[in-house]
Chains A and B, each alone.
Chain A
Amino acid sequence: MNMPRFWREIQGRYNLIGSRCGNCGEYFFPKRDICPKCHRKSVGKMETVKFSGRGRIISYSIVHDPHPEYKDMRPYIMAIIELEEGPRLTAQVVDCSPEEVKTGMEVEATFRKLAEDGKEGVIFYGYKFRPLRK
């Protein structure tokens, strides 16, 4: 991914900034300008929110054949995570072995390197998740 395109979304990727519909109260990640439930009633009422970063695993896969930029991490855990506020996202789960990961596992957001734009390019950072530290 090129740099301006990544940079534009760093608030979402660094800090889990999303939206809440001021009309129905539903949370969304990433940010949305319009609520898929309230349609026009939500226009101008979408509020910016920061998610806690805690959630649970809905489903996961152990990736053995990643895209080239992600090869250093393989095999790695890719998961769909449901944040405690409701929205779901796709992220890697780190500090956890493929044997330990389970559907329903509680996780929390951490800050990691996602990829590099080659050896000379920029480094992309953002959220990954790890098992929740009690």
Chain B
Amino acid sequence: MEAGIISYGAYIPRYRIKPEEIGRVWGEDGAARGKGLGVMAKSVPAPDEDVITIAVEAARNALKRVDIDPKDIGAIYTGSESHPYAVKPTSTVVAEAIMASPDLTAADYEFACKAGTAALQNVLGLVESGIIKYGMAIGSDTSQGAPGDPLEYTASAGGAAFLVGKDGVIAEINGMYSYTTDTPDFWRREGQPYPSHGGRFTGEPAYFRHVLTAAKGMMERMGTEAKDYDYVVLHQPNGKFPRRAAKKLGFSPEQLETGLLTPRIGNTYSGAVPLGLSAVLDAAEPGNRILAVSFGSGAGSDAFDITVTDEMKKFRKERAPLVMDMVNDEVFIDYATYVKYRKKIRRKGD
């Protein structure tokens, strides 16, 4: 397709908490938990950060790398399962904060962890059809894990934004394929502060079935095999699932490594595949081929077959921080600070 990624930008909050620290509080062997999940730390948003601020920072980082007029952006869609408002969009704030308002369409997406890639599909469609010149798709999350829930070891924060257009495409979309079923593996009811999940049910019938089917379906449609790709980015609820899925699909650890951030920052939910793909684009050379497959509980997977173009040589990557710059900018906090930052304890007056 003609429409492709013309820029991207990421944002990861700098605070981190280690599984050991979480386990210390709940009387669990946090180190062993972390090892089992393949997670060494997870990112924590500062008290003044949320999905909106992360989305804005990511979108601004994307815009720094290209010289376009933000007024030419015709659509902004932000995917998240942690929008600060239940009613009132994240995307309108982003639009205003990047000076794209008011001649554009905006909406928020929600599909558990794949809301960001759903946003990307829709923006690609609008640009490809010629309805809009540029579009911005963002995946941003500050995911919730109830105190004492295993999710607490991984639920983290971060996001990435993709600017889609037809000129100056740095990453071409060769094809998209989605696989969607009604599989209630993980959910959060209206008005509930924390999600619930089906425990081990989130594995085989949910994550693996959808990710593997979508990846295989994409490769079948493109007539490719695992070895045809330089990088693979898979949804990464922990460090373990994507490694196992990559292996089953025939990818090597090297193909997976660059886009696998969860071991360092935890599961950024809607931000996960967008951030993984951003990390790959930070490293990729013209001609590199990438397979990216998201997963959203409930459940579905979006697969993208991507080729990095020669435009990448001219791309002003250095104008915004690289994903690894932000992954490496870590400030570790203790559990008490973490629960305060995440507003898990109520102060007088709250």
Interface residues of A (CB under 8 A from B): 10-11, 14-15, 50, 68, 71-73, 92, 94-95, 110-114, 119, 122-123, 125, 128, 133
Q: Which of B199-220 contact A (CB under 8 A)?
A: none
B27 proximal to A (CB < 8 A): no
- What chain A residues lie within 8 Å of B325 (beta carbons)? 133
**Inter-chain contact A72/B96, CB cutoff 8 Å:** no
Contact, CB under 8 Å: B47 / A72 = yes
Q: Is B48 an interface residue (CB 8 A)?
A: yes
Tell whether B298 is near chain A: CB-to-CB under 8 Å: no
Can you list 21 A-B pairs, Cβ within 8 angstroms, ordered by A? Answer: A14-B96, A71-B347, A72-B47, A72-B48, A72-B347, A73-B46, A73-B47, A92-B48, A94-B48, A95-B14, A111-B60, A112-B46, A112-B53, A113-B49, A113-B50, A113-B52, A113-B53, A122-B88, A123-B84, A125-B97, A133-B321
**A112–B48 touching, CB < 8 Å:** yes
* Chain B residues with CB under 8 A of A11: 96
Chain B residues whose CB sits within 8 angstroms of the CB of A73 once the complex forms:
46-48
Does residue B248 face the partner (Cβ distance < 8 Å to A)? no
Kindly identify which residue among B47, B53, B350 contacts A111, using a CB–CB cutoff of 8 Å: B53
* Chain B 74-118 interface 0/1 with A at a Cβ cutoff of 8 Å (1 = within): 000000000011001000010011010000000000000000000
Which residues on B are within 8 Å of A, measured CB to CB?
A: 14, 46-50, 52-53, 56-57, 60, 84-85, 88, 93, 96-97, 99, 321, 325, 340-341, 343, 347, 349-350
Q: Quick one: which of B46, B84, B97, B343 contacts A14, CB cutoff 8 A? A: B97
A125: chain B residues within 8 A (beta carbon): 52-53, 56, 93, 97
CB closest residue in chain A, given B98? A15
The 3 lowest CB-CB distance pairs between A and B, nearest first, are A72-B47, A111-B56, A112-B48
- In Å, the complex CA distance between A111 and B52 comes to 9
Contact, CB under 8 Å: B350 / A119: yes
Q: Write the chain A residue with the least CB distance to B341.
A: A72
> Which residue of the partner chain B has the closest CB to A15?
B99
A47 → chain B closest CB, angstroms? 16
CA separation between A94 and B47, bound complex, in Å? 11
Chain A residue numbers with a CB within 8 Å of B97 are 14-15, 111, 125
Question: CA separation between A72 and B84, bound complex, in Å?
Answer: 17
Instruction: Give complex CA distance A57, B350 in Å.
Output: 33
User: Could you say which residues of chain A place their CB within 8 Å of the CB of B84?
Assistant: 123
Least CB distance from B71 to A in Å reads 13
Q: Are A114 and B99 in contact (CB under 8 A)?
A: no
